[in-house]
Chains A and B, each alone.
Chain A
Amino acid sequence: MSAGAGDGRSLAEWVTLALSLLVIGTLVTVAVMEQSRLEQQEGPGLTVIFDADHATRRGDSYVIPYAIRNTGSEAITSAEIWFDVLEGATVVESAEIRVAFLPLQGTQRGIFVTTHDPARYALRDRLESLQIP
């Protein structure tokens, strides 16, 4: 009996090989599709979402949950973002938030503590700098 891949192969071996090719083929297909999708996006990008609806009051301060999401086409090794509290067009409070590392579509969650009531004041984020690998 041959030891080659052809004539001596049993049904069990053919099925195993087919499943193996399916596993690897799926991975390769996902890679090609992801590469194509990322190439259509415009470089690195971050999105900040303030969850003011779930802000809580602790003494004189307000604790506001936020999420920073990497919505760009590359991983981010670090970033600096400013959070501003606005009264009309005037900035009444600012804080710098640092992002250590965010993979593609990765999210960093945290809380922003301010002395201003988010129900009365507006919140804004400003990307100051961003580093990519």
Chain B
Amino acid sequence: MSQPRGGSSLSVASGRGWPDVLDDAVRGLASGFLVGVPVVFTADVWWLGDQSSPIESLFLLAAAYVLTLAAVAWIGFQRRVARGWARVTDAVEALAIAILALVAIFWSLGLIGDGQAASVALGRIAVAVAPVSLGVAIANHLLARDGSVGDGGGGLPTPYGVRGAEGRQQGLYELGAAAAGALFLCIAVVPVDDLSAIVSRVPVRNLPVVILLSLLVSYSVVFASGFTGEGARHGSDDLLQHPLVETVAAYLVALGVALLVLWLFRRIDAGSQPFEIYNKVILLGFPASMAAAAGRLAI
């Protein structure tokens, strides 16, 4: 019998209630964002989606389902062991979560639902769905779940929830990890200069939505998806580790890193208009904030 890997608290029993089901869905969604957003955030993926016919999109969707099924059988995202038909239905749920994630991303960027043809929306989702659904399907492995919702599972001490100077130091470590994660992603994205094409295609009026989605997903990844240390993070009394403060601080760090990398690779310079800089930083800050969240979870 194969067992899903990476999960520390998987049970064979089914019959889970709403809290567990929603928790798994949010965790899968967060994992899908982490894996999929860097891939989705390339102009070539959009361009390929624009050219796909509806029938080609259906084939891509079917291929994504097969890949997701394999990943679910091997790893999975539900807090239980899936066997037989449960794997098939888990893969259906993973694919649906990925589709909803892509609808949120593309809608926030103004790339669907803003006068585009239905087949264009379909093509963009179909081309990008495989990496996101794979991300959902490997949630149990990507960032292992705690021993329990209340944390402390496995008897390992967590560095969260500490007070005073130690808590402040931990908060600073987390921001450093956020910077490292954002830097890792920005260095991969900025040199290929897809950002210029992306900036030209995203309506300015959508930038506030992009900011809100960046914050919402960052918060969900770290504080609402049941990944390591979530409960202790909620329990910390240090201001820098308060969920909202930490989310906003980490987002600002990601924006700062995005600004720095754009400047280092000369995508902006002293002659750039302030609004152009704002536009690029906010859009690059979207995947950078995901990577920053992953960086915070890694420590």
Counting CB contacts under 8 A, is B17 at the interface?
Answer: yes
Chain B contacts with A in 38-83, Cβ cutoff 8 A: 47, 50-51, 53-55, 57-58, 61, 80-83
Cβ of A95 within 8 Å of any chain B Cβ, yes or no, is: no
A3 touches which one: B12, B22, B55, B119 (CB < 8 A)? Answer: B12
Please determine whether B21 and A20 come into contact, CB atoms closer than 8 angstroms: no
Identify which of A5, A16, A31, A103 contacts B51 (C-beta below 8 A): A103
Given A10-B15, A38-B119, are A101 and B50 neighbors across the interface (CB < 8 Å)? Answer: yes
Looking across the interface, which residue of chain A has its beta carbon closest to that of B99? A23
A5 to B61, alpha carbons, bound, how many Å? 23
Chain A contacts for B85, CB-based, 8 A: 4-6
- A133 to B50 CA separation, bound complex (whole angstroms): 10
Q: Does B206 make an interface contact (CB < 8 A)?
A: no
A35 at interface (Cβ–Cβ under 8 A)?
Answer: yes
For the residues of B in contact with A, the DSSP-based class is helix
Name the residue of chain B whose CB is nearest to the CB of A20: B96
- A88 to B129 CA separation, bound complex (whole angstroms): 54
- B119–A104 CB distance below 8 A: yes
Contact A4 B83 (CB under 8 A): yes
CB neighbours (8 Å) of B95 from chain A are: 20, 24
Interface residues of A in 22-47 (CB under 8 A from B): 23-24, 27-28, 30-35, 38
Question: Chain B CB within 10 Å — which of A27, A74, A106 has the most?
Answer: A27
The answer to whether A27 touches B118 (Cβ under 8 A) is: no
Most buried by B among A6, A9, A20: A20
Which residues of B have CB within 8 Å of A103?
50-51, 116-117, 120, 123
* B84→A5 contact, CB < 8 A: yes
The distance from the CB of B51 to the nearest CB of chain A, in whole angstroms, is 5
Q: Of A1, A27, A107, which one neighbours B125 at CB under 8 angstroms?
A: A27
Q: CB distance B82 to A3 under 8 Å?
A: yes
Flag if A16 contacts B14 (CB, 8 Å).
no
Q: State whether the Cβ of A91 lies closer than 8 Å to any Cβ in chain B.
A: no
Interface size class on chain A is 35 or more
Report the separation of the CA atoms of residues A34 and B121 in the bound assembly, to the nearest whole angstrom: 11
Is A78 an interface residue, CB under 8 A from the partner? no
Instruction: List the B side residues contacting A2 at CB < 8 Å.
Output: 14
Q: Which residues of chain A are near B123, meaning CB under 8 Å?
A: 103
Are the C-beta atoms of B117 and A13 separated by less than 8 Å? no
Q: Are A35 and B16 in contact (CB under 8 A)?
A: no
Report if B25 contacts A (CB, 8 A): yes
Interface residues of B (CB under 8 A from A): 12-18, 20-22, 25, 47, 50-51, 53-55, 57-58, 61, 80-86, 88-89, 92-93, 95-97, 99-100, 115-120, 122-123, 125
13 A-B interface contacts by CB (under 8 A): A5-B84, A10-B14, A12-B17, A12-B18, A13-B15, A27-B99, A31-B57, A32-B58, A33-B118, A35-B53, A75-B50, A77-B51, A103-B120
Which residues from chain A sit less than 8 Å from chain B, CB to CB? Answer: 1-6, 8-10, 12-13, 16-17, 19-21, 23-24, 27-28, 30-35, 38, 74-75, 77, 101, 103-107, 133
